[in-house]
Amino acid sequence: MARRGRGWYGQVAAAAMGVTAVAVAASLWTSPAGPADGSTRARSAERPAAPGAGPKAAPVPVEIAHASDRGARGVNITIDDGPDPVWTPRVLKVLEEYGVKATFCMIGPQAQAHPDLVRAVVAAGHRLCDHTVSHDVTMDKKSEAYQSRQILDAERMITEASGGVRPLYYRAPGGAFTPYSRKLAASHGMRPLGWNVDSKDFERPGTSTVVATVKDEMPNGPTVLFHDAGGDRSETVAALRELLPWLKGQGYAFGFPVR
């Protein structure tokens, strides 16, 4: 898998340690029982549990997933690097217009900064994916302790931001998986998630190029990579608006990566 440069992630990485420290401190004084009046428990009882909710995640396979739960003609839309207050709502709107569910691979501090967007993603029926704390594309060269912090801190941030819904997948930045990181994620119920089609939207090559890239590479497999953060994502939104009906017209069924 091709690796992308650090770009804007340098800023995220610089802030990540401080954000993590604040979150850890908060966990020391927050009662695990929740509000004394039981309001959170009452609200939870009013609706079915979302995928990934619950006290403990069951382990999943350690192999990197590429297939779709909709079979040979399935397609998985995956959205990386958010949530972003400008672009995530626009991506959500396009997905809603075409009745498509997607998997959002979120950066921990981004999720913590925008819990309303994380909950909007969950409420719309999409799935969450752990995309680490600082999007370090060289983390496969780092210690296991470092990998663990990147993965588990992000898992906690995303779960807290969502209101208790855990990420169901783990996507290594730039594909920087290791046997250790895959095993760790899987033990926490997060299936390692790859991709088959890189839309190259991160490079902002133009909407027509993004569309052409996806169409040309669809024979490679069902999991398609887009982004909703990291800069101007107007080309991504425009490309999705063109590609989603095209994929339906080609007989594809939208699903989620296998678990």
161-214 residue pLDDT tens:
999 999 999 999 999 999 999 999 999 999 999 999 999 999 999 999 999 999
In whole angstroms, what is the distance from residue 71 CA to residue 73 CA? Answer: 6
Q: CA 4: distance to chain centroid?
A: 17
Per residue in 1-29, pLDDT (tens digit) is: 444 444 444 444 444 444 443 333 333 22
Report pLDDT for 146: 98
105 neighbors 77 (Cβ within 8 angstroms): no
- Please, which contacts does 137-140 make with residues 24 or more away whose CB atoms are closer than 8 Å? 137/3, 137/4, 137/5, 137/6, 137/173, 137/174, 137/176, 138/176, 139/172, 139/173, 139/176, 139/181, 140/172, 140/176, 140/177, 140/178, 140/181
Active site annotation includes 227: yes
User: Residue 54: how many CB atoms within 10 A of its CB?
Assistant: 13
pLDDT digits (tens, 9 = 90+) for 92-146: 999 999 999 999 999 999 999 999 999 999 999 999 999 999 999 999 999 999 9
Annotated domain spans of the chain: 59-254
**pTM (predicted TM-score):** 0.81
Q: Is 140 a catalytic residue?
A: no
Question: CA-CA distance, 196 to 64, in Å (whole number)?
Answer: 11
Q: Which of 135, 140, 227, 228 is catalytic?
A: 227
Pairing, β 197-198 against β 74-80: unpaired
> What CATH architecture is 59-254?
Alpha-Beta Barrel (3.20)
Q: Cα–Cα distance between 205 and 151 in angstroms, integer?
A: 31
Instruction: Judge whether residue 235 has pLDDT over 80.
Output: yes
How many of the other CB atoms lie within 10 Å of CB of 44? Answer: 15
The answer to whether the CB of 104 falls within 8 A of the CB of 129 is: yes
Please give the pLDDT value at position 148.
98
What's the confidence (pLDDT) of residue 10? 45
Per-residue three-class SS string for the chain: CCCCCCCCHHHHHHHHHHHHHHHHHHHHHCCCCCCCCCHHHHHHHCCCCCCCECCCCCCCCCCCECCECCHHHEEEEEEECCCCCCHHHHHHHHHHHCCCCEEEEECHHHHHHCHHHHHHHHHCCCEEEECCCCCCCCHHHCCHHHHHHHHHHHHHHHHHHHCCECCCEECCHHHCCCHHHHHHHHHCCCEEECCCEECCHHHCCCHHHHHHHHHHHHHHCCEEEEECCCCCCHHHHHHHHHHHHHHHHCCCEECCECC
Catalytic residue selected from 80, 81, 153, 228: 80
| pLDDT recorded at residue 53 | 66
Q: What is the pLDDT of residues 27-75, one digit of tens each?
A: 322 333 333 333 333 333 334 456 676 667 899 999 999 999 999 999 9
Please tell me the distance from the alpha carbon of residue 141 to that of residue 177, in angstroms, as a whole number.
10
**Interatomic CA distance for residues 57 and 118, integer angstroms:** 19
